[in-house]
């Protein structure tokens, strides 16, 4: 006989209560179920952006590492808590160079972990909830990574709260009432987490110079690589593709010297040596930026803002790229001037001269004003250096600047101005003074690089050195000498005037010194000095040199000098023997090998 409908409902209700009671009994006996049993397995895939960074840089910004996680068996119903805990570490093939010791702990860095794009300034080195906006925050705040004391290439984040994809929000939001049905309520306090959880590791600074900045200019980039590890504490989390490339390091700048008239310094008293500075790649030159913690905002590329307060160290760290240009091997008597502002051929790039900087290229300020030339101090090592700051840069194209250095003869400089090979050294600044490999806690951001071949330019000697291998006025011999200033010609040479210094060197004479050096009168272009050893030429400032045999070196302060010698032997006033020859023009040497002490 069929049961009445009411009795059937009562029986079903009693059966359901029995099942629930049995479930609670088993739960009491076995304890709470493991989260992995409820969640299945959380699968995470790792990806990274791969920016170009400067291989000279000690604190270059690597690309963000992104973990995207899904729950293989999306959870339903209320979970004891809506997240699982895990330790995350990132190991690189170069040293981590993030700032440390800025108020959150001795090994705490400003490399930051962000969950589900929940951005805000970091205020604690530990995991916290609720400081990034509404009080009922359901995702942990951004968290800085720690640099392991014995492993300078590893960053670590401990006890990270990874939201369970699709799970009901649990005890992380005390005011959020968990619900069984999360349909249409993902990411809403009191509802469920999104079906995908993202974990971003951002603002990771690396010492790219360890890949080889001090060698020759690199034609290809070198990889900054990372290994990502996730160690779950209370669930099963699997990570795919955990070996990542997070940056490519290439030369940040290239310097070349444009050919110019090497004789103009002699003929006009001044010349311009033009040095071209080119970016190694687009965006290698950077301007100063305001710190930020949101991707896409101005300044993101320069630095993550880790805590509430602007400090001097951070301001210096975010300063514009600087370029140091040094000239070595400058001849004595040459002065250098550099433009205060450089308007480059690339419309988006501008450089400003920095004055008052320290030796490493930090500090000081950009000189204001138009593109006038300012003297550059020269050191005892016949060198000069100048510092420029990038005041404007375009990030989308590789740009270049041509900087014209004005070289002039010093006021009052006398004597032959010797030329030579002037070497150019260009590098990014500020330059660090500490050993490469030590984590950077200062504001220096680059190492000195010496790409090969080094650019250089040659300055001609503003004068001529003539060598007369044999002159004599002994044993009835006498020597007539003519030195001509041939800088006046129909070939376009610039008229030059100057004196000649005569240096006599005796040969084969014991206990006798060379005669005193003699300076002639200033000889105009097209004129000649003419004298004999026995009589000299008083009108031209040349005294006689009697009883001499040896060689003569004449150093003249003008180019294009020529010399002729006529040696005669006279007996009773009659020339019985004569011989003439042209003086040898001594060419400039590429490198000086002369000693300071005569033999």
Indicate the DSSP class of residue 218.
Answer: P
Please state which of the ranges 85-99, 363-377, 417-431 shows the lowest mean pLDDT. 363-377
Residue 264, SS3 per DSSP:
helix
Give the span between the Cα atoms of 185 and 202, in whole angstroms.
29
Range of lowest pLDDT (493-497, 513-517, 560-564):
513-517
DSSP state letters, 223-254: EEEEEEEEEESSS-EEEE--EEEEEEEE-SEE
Helix (H) / strand (E) element for 7: namely helix 5-30
Is the pLDDT at 502 greater than 90, yes or no? yes
Residue 261 has pLDDT above 50, yes or no: yes
User: Which DSSP category does 540 fall into?
Assistant: G
* 121-161: pLDDT as tens digits: 777 888 888 777 665 567 888 899 999 878 899 999 999 99
Q: 357: which 2 tokens?
A: 């900087």
- Measured between alpha carbons, how far is 260 from 258 in angstroms, rounded to an integer? 6
DSSP 100: B
Say what percent of the chain tops pLDDT 70. 72
User: pLDDT grade, residue 2 (50/70/90)?
Assistant: very low
Confidence of residue 33 (pLDDT cuts 50, 70, 90): very low
| Residues 327/422, Cβ–Cβ less than 8 Å | yes
* Lowest-pLDDT range of 161-165, 415-419, 426-430: 415-419
User: pLDDT category, 82, cuts 50, 70, 90?
Assistant: confident
* Rounded mean pLDDT, 453-460: 82
Residue 135: its pLDDT value, please? 54
What pLDDT was estimated at residue 333?
Answer: 82
Tokens in use for 115?
């969950």
What 8-state DSSP symbol labels residue 214? T
Instruction: Band the pLDDT of 38: cuts 50, 70, 90.
Output: very low
Which has more confidence, 598 or 231?
A: 231
- The answer to whether 146 and 100 have CB atoms below 8 angstroms apart is no
Strand (E) or helix (H) holding 5: helix 5-30
Cα(382)–Cα(443) distance, rounded to whole angstroms? 30
What pLDDT is attached to residue 223? 95
CA dist 531 and 535 (Å) reads 7
pLDDT digits 0-9 by tens, 401-413: 999 898 888 876 6
Residue 574 scores a pLDDT above 70: yes
Q: What is the 3-state secondary structure (H, E, C) of 115-146?
A: ECCCCCCCCCCCCCECCCCCCCCCCECCEEEE
Fill in the DSSP letter of residue 524: -
Q: Burial code of 305-343, b = ≥16 C-beta within 10 A, e = fewer?
A: bbbeeeeeebebbbbbbbbbbbbbbbbebbbbbbbbbbe
> Does the pLDDT value for residue 582 go beyond 90?
yes
Higher pLDDT, 485 or 188: 485
Given a cut of 80, whether residue 524 has pLDDT beyond it is yes
Provide the sign of the torsion angle of the four alpha carbons 128, 129, 130, 133, taken in this order: positive
Q: How far apart, in Å, are the Cα atoms of 400 and each of 59, 268, 337, 484, 550?
A: 23, 29, 21, 46, 56
Q: What does pTM read for this prediction?
A: 0.76
- Residues 377-403: pLDDT tens digits? 665 456 788 999 998 888 788 888 999
- What is the DSSP annotation of 146-185? EE-TT-TTEEEEEEEEEEPTTPBP-TTSTT----S--TT-
Structural element, H or E, at residue 18:
helix 5-30
Q: Indicate whether 8 pLDDT > 60.
A: no
Q: What is the pLDDT of residue 1?
A: 44
Strands 549-556 and 500-506: antiparallel
Of 400, 189, 174, 387, which is closest to residue 279 (Cα–Cα)?
Answer: 400
Q: Report the pLDDT value the prediction gives residue 295, as an integer from 0 to 100.
A: 55
Indicate whether 201 pLDDT > 60.
Answer: yes
Tell which wins on pLDDT, 190 or 288: 288
CA distance 209 to 286: 18
> Does 208 score more than 70 pLDDT?
yes
pLDDT per position as a tens digit, 10-21: 443 443 334 333
Strand partners, 9: none
Backbone angles phi, psi at 267, to 5 degrees: -80, -30
């Amino acid at each position: 006989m069929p049961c009445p409908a009411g009795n059937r409902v009562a029986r079903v209700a009693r059966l359901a209560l029995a099942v629930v009671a049995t479930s609670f009994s088993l739960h009491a006996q076995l304890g709470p179920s493991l989260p992995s049993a409820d969640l299945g397995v959380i699968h995470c895939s790792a990806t990274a952006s791969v920016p170009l960074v400067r291989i000279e840089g000690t604190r270059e910004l690597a690309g963000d590492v992104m973990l995207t996680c899904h729950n293989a068996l999306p959870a339903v119903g209320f979970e004891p808590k809506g997240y699982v805990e895990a330790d995350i570490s990132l190991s690189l093939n170069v040293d981590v160079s993030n700032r440390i010791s800025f108020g959150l702990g001795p090994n705490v860095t400003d490399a930051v972990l962000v969950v589900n794009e929940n951005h805000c300034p970091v205020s604690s080195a530990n995991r916290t909830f609720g400081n990034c906006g509404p009080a009922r925050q359901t995702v942990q705040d951004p968290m800085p990574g720690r640099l392991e004391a014995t492993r300078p290439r590893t960053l670590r984040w401990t006890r990270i709260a990874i939201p369970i994809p699709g799970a009901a929000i649990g005890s992380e939001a005390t005011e959020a009432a968990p619900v069984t049905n999360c349909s249409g309520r993902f990411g809403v306090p009191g509802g469920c987490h999104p079906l995908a959880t993202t974990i971003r590791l951002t603002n990771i600074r690396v010492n790219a110079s360890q890949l080889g900045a001090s060698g020759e200019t690199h034609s290809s980039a070198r990889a900054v690589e990372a290994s990502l590890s996730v160690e779950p504490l209370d669930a099963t989390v699997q990570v795919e593709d955990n070996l990542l490339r997070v940056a490519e390091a290439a030369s940040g700048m290239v310097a070349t010297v444009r050919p110019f008239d090497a004789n103009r310094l002699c003929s006009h008293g001044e010349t311009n040596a033009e040095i071209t500075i080119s970016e190694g790649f687009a965006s290698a030159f950077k301007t100063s930026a305001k710190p930020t913690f949101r991707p896409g905002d101005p300044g993101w590329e320069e630095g993550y803002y880790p805590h509430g307060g602007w400090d001097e160290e951070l301001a210096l760290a975010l300063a514009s790229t600087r370029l140091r240009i040094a000239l070595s091997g400058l001849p004595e008597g040459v002065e250098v001037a550099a433009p205060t502002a450089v308007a480059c051929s690339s419309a988006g790039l501008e450089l400003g001269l920095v004055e008052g900087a320290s030796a490493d290229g930090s500090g000081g300020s950009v000189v204001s004003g138009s593109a006038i030339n300012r003297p550059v101090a020269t050191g005892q090592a016949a060198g000069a250096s100048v510092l420029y700051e990038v005041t404007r840069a375009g990030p989308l194209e590789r740009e270049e600047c041509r900087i014209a250095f004005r070289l002039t003869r010093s006021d009052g400089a006398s004597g032959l101005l010797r030329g030579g090979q002037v070497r150019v050294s260009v590098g990014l600044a500020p330059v660090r003074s500490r050993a490469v490999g030590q984590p950077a806690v200062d504001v220096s951001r680059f190492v000195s690089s010496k790409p090969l071949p080094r650019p250089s330019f040659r300055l001609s000697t503003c004068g001529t050195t003539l060598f007369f291998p044999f002159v004599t006025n002994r044993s009835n011999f006498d020597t007539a000498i003519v030195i001509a200033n041939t800088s006046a010609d129909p070939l376009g040479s610039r008229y030059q005037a100057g004196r000649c210094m005569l240096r006599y060197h005796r040969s084969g004479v014991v206990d006798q010194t060379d005669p005193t050096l003699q300076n002639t009168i200033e000889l105009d272009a097209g004129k000649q000095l003419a004298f004999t050893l026995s009589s000299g030429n008083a009108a031209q400032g040349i005294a006689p040199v009697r009883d001499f045999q040896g060689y003569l070196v004449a150093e003249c302060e003008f180019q294009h000098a020529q010399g002729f010698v006529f040696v005669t032997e006279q007996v009773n006033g009659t020339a019985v023997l004569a011989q003439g020859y042209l003086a040898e023009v001594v060419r400039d040497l590429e490198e000086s090998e002369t000693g300071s002490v005569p033999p």
